[in-house]
Structure 1
Amino acid sequence: MERLALIESPGPGGVPGPDDTPGWLCALLENTRVTDICINGTSAIFADSGDGMRKIPTGAVWDNDAMMRWTLARLSLAGKTWDARHPFADACIPPCHRLHAAFPPVSGPGMLLSLRRLPGLARNNSIVQNTSAERIARWGAGNGHYQALVEATIRGDSIIIAGSTGSGKTTLACDLLSEVPPEERIIALEDTQELSPVHPHFLSLASRPPNADGCGEITLRTLLRQTLRMRPDRIVLGECRGAEVLDLLQAINTGHRGAMATLHASSPRDALRRIELLCLIASGGSIPSALARELIASGIQWVAHIGRHGPARIIKELWQIAGREGDTILMRKV
């Protein structure tokens, strides 16, 4: 009954923004327990408040035209565009959500919207404090994994955070980056700007897809190369998925310590295999596997694998990279 009441009433104040947001969506966006909202066309709404996706009985209808107007308005406010040749779009929705939209005909007869609550951003026009005590409580102090990562972050070790979709990679990255000494300059490179640690000198650069004429693309690889001219103390890749991984490893191995990146992978060892594969693809075969592994072994010190345990997100495994022996990257489980 509590969930239904929260959905049927938008609550005091509503969500800051244009007035065309339906009341039931306002309620879901304001509910801090709701991490994900999936809207499948005009009839099915699902939300995850920590116990998996559940269908929401809103008792309301959101027609295609209204949904399209709402979505295009948010994309416009974020400086994003959509056209028939690019039927997908991403944008951040103030104060603390990321929007992904899939348009017909790729999405079928109706639009598909996915909204995710982002960690560390402003809520209700105030900044989330996200203190060290809150971060420790979120990740648990029992096995010492989070504290080990905090110490590694402060020390300037380079860290890979691996896990599946929705496992909490961005949340952990935000929490660790909040521990970076305040005199250091952090520059994050992202496709959609999601990271927002509590830090006085944090900057975020966003990639850009090509326009309808195929021009104007700005890739993560381009951003990384520009970042090297911006006096970064820490370089952060919001998500490793392409050639930018090789550039990041080369930057680390030429003195840019304390890097951090997230990666979709099912285990720490799988994360390293995926990084190696991305390096080989990026080089076009010009570097051998042995050199890619050397770059990984000398550049990365820690791999954290995170996931869900019931409603909680936990650090499932923490491995320290201990160098290389022959063609094998040596790892020690903490």
Structure 2
Amino acid sequence: MKFERNGLFGFLALAALVPFVVHDQYVLHIAIMVLFYAVLATSLNLVVGYVGEFSLGHTAFLGTGAYAAAILSTRYGWPMWLTIPVAGLLAAAVGGLIGAITLRLQGPFFVIVTLSFAEVLRLVADNWIGLTNGPMGIAGVPQPGLLANAGNLASKQFYYALAWGLLAIGLYLSYRFVHSNAGRAAVAIRENRYVAQSIGVRPLTYSMLALVLGAFLSGMAGGFYAHYISFVGPEMFRFAFMVSMIIMVLIGGKGTLVGPLIGALLVTFLEEYLREAKELRLSIFGLAVIAIVLFLPQGLMGFAGRSRERRHPAAPAVPLAPAAAPAAGAVPTGTGRTA
């Protein structure tokens, strides 16, 4: 627990120094995307890593948040300070609705139904032209008024600070959940659903808490993305975002809070480095996932944890001293006999 807390503080502290050291707009953009993906990976990890259900429909919450922020800001003139939290709340409501149906299922049934919900929302965004503008998407999502006279570098620094704040909120909420009774109940469900039920843990209740919290964080990330990119389209619901989130969680280590951060950092930079490879990069990512699953099934954080245990093994348990034999002629107590 202490190692994980120190890792989170260390990551946030180093990330806070980036805008003071880096003044290249392209590098700042990559750093912003790292923080954005870190929020997404953290939100997915709550369901995959702690509840143990492999969701493929997390883009439903991302797209809901992005469209909510875009519609509220372009049509109703809401400021970004309101659209992002409202986007998270709407995504949480969608998460509660989807979870009430899907969390009653297990295994491949859960995977297929969650993916189906994301696909249904993509079709709605693609065909409800009056609300979402169909395949054309919603362009010109407004940015805050304080950036009207700011330069490109100042705008990047502002969005970096905003992304850092969203990640800090996401990590705080996730940490409080994981180390609460609800989080421990979720882990019990992950380890053995039926044993957890036998001791009074309600799987649907605690799985729902994890899913709704993950949907809230993903929806806020979607609202941030809408304002930062200034465009939202049906591709927000596509499987490409889902693949990136899954790879980040698996590479970093599911069931840990630091793992998704490391995965987001590695995968985002690798995607940019392999951008010229085009279609080949998907094959490279596929090979990377296969290698991780085969050789590092617990991800990089699991490997680091095992290495730390080998360097600092736990002290062996001290055996209890055997009870002293009674003296000759002594009468055992508690038998009701008299000498």
Fold in common (TM above 0.5)? no
Point out the structure with the larger strand share.
1
Q: Highest CA radius of gyration, 1 or 2?
A: 2
Point out the structure with the larger helix share.
2
- RCO greater where, 1 or 2, for CA within 8 Å and sep 6 or more? 2
